[in-house]
Amino acid sequence: MDYINYILIALIVIFIVQRFVPTKGVRNITTSELKNELNNKEKQFIDVRTPGEYKGFHINGFKNMPLHQLSQKANELSKEKEVVVICQSGMRSQKASKLLKKMGFKNITNVKGGVSAWR
């Protein structure tokens, strides 16, 4: 019985750690680094928060593509250009970065701390 408990705990720890480990091949930047990149027309900026969150406050230049619709809307993005992803805190944008990576996007940047860190 003890072995099962240890295995369960180990699996839970692995699951939690994977949530917080940055995705391989995804660049992470701070909001202050983002300020230097916002005027770059070669980059695509997407905000993966809900339409309500986006409407409440968003950074100019970011297009709203809610995380739950990203799979369907990703065809609106160019795989040739860098995609910069933001959300409220950095968790959903990290998920979005993983999803984009699986879909074949090569140049992805996640904004650490999200819109909360921007304000």
Active site residue: 46, 65, 87, 96, which one? 87
Specify the DSSP class assigned to residue 62.
Answer: P
> Which neighbouring-strand residues pair with 24?
none
Percent of the residues in the chain that have a pLDDT greater than 90, as a whole number: 78
pLDDT at res. 93: 96
b/e per residue 69-93 (b: at least 16 CB within 10 A): ebeeebeebeeeebbbbbbbebebb
Q: Please say if 83 is a catalytic residue.
A: no
> What's phi and psi for 83, nearest 5 deg?
-110, 125
* All domains in the chain, ordered by first residue: 25-118 (3.40.250.10)
pLDDT of amino acid 114: 95
Contact in structure between 110 and 22 (CB atoms under 8 Å): yes
Please tell me the distance from the alpha carbon of residue 110 to that of residue 113, in angstroms, as a whole number: 9
pLDDT at 22 over 70: no
10 falls in which pLDDT band (50, 70, 90)? confident
Convert the pLDDT of each residue in 32-63 to its tens digit: 999 999 999 999 999 999 999 999 999 999 99
